[in-house]
Amino acid sequence: MDGGGKNIWIIANWKSNKTIQEALDWISAVGPKLEKRENLKVVICTTFTAIEEVKKAVMVGNYPLIVGSQDLSPFPEGAYTGEEPAIILKQFAELSIIGHSERRQNFGETDEMVSKKVKQALDNQITPLVCVQGKETQVPEGVKLIAYEPIFAIGTGNPDTPENANEIAENFKEKYGIEVLYGGSVTSKNVKDFVTMDNINGVLVVGASLDPEEFVRIVQNAIR
Ligand code: PEP
């Protein structure tokens, strides 16, 4: 693998897409095509509705896929209507995306809430993947994995340049000693340009992850 043996994370975020059946069809199409490699970490972040069935399908198929969620509650279990707490989610999720820009924009998520969610994740052995929108975004204590996702690049077909993403990643690495992913209009055509950058440890993909064939190409091109 390129990149000097560093970890390569390829993380799919389906957002609010896919019925349980569509999710299972995706797993059967992608799972058997994934190579097992020590430093390749392929993650699928499903809806809460599909997560249990997806987890079962991954285990039954023995696929090299890590199952994750797209969010979790800032609170523990208890009287928090509508929330999914980490202590319950950990039955299925090994990783959780936290602080995506859509949650900050549409649901009023603040840095304080992001920190509370990170704490819940860490207390329950779920890896928090914190999304940062630029150099100034705060990274809460204990976080080891972040995704740099500039808003202009999200879902627009207009990715940041690999060089700029690498420079931002270097900043975060130097400041916090963590792994940094890039997210924003990643496809099978540009993934290699990002993952071969010294300071980039993989990608967070939404639009191009929904189609199983394109997602398999993304993984293959990333490790070739
Ligand atoms: C995102 O929404 O986090 C994202 C990276 O979207 P896309 O891959 O579709 O640009």
* 147-161 confidence digits (pLDDT tens): 999 999 999 999 999
From residue 167, alpha-carbon distances to 35, 43, 53, 170, 179 in Å are 30, 25, 39, 5, 13
Is residue 166 predicted with pLDDT exceeding 70? yes
Contacts 24+ apart (CB under 8 A), 102-105: 102/15, 103/71, 104/133
**From the CB of 96, is ligand 1 less than 6 Å away?**
no
Mean pLDDT, residues 27-50 taken together: 97
Q: Give the model's confidence band at 4: pLDDT under 50 very low, under 70 low, under 90 confident, else very high.
A: low
Mean pLDDT, residues 69-74 taken together: 98
Residue 5's pLDDT is what? 80
**From the CB of 183, is ligand 1 less than 6 Å away?**
yes
Nearest C-alpha neighbor of 164 from the set 150, 151, 147: 150
Ligand 1 midpoint to CA 7 (Å): 21
Compute the C-alpha angle 72/209/201, nearest 5°.
Answer: 75
C-alpha 186/C-alpha 37 separation (Å) is 22
Mutate to test the pocket of ligand 1, among 204, 210, 215 (most ligand atoms within 8 A of CB): 204
Q: Give the model's confidence band at 146: pLDDT under 50 very low, under 70 low, under 90 confident, else very high.
A: very high
Which residue has better confidence, 1 or 216?
Answer: 216
Nearest C-alpha neighbor of 124 from the set 176, 83, 72, 82: 72
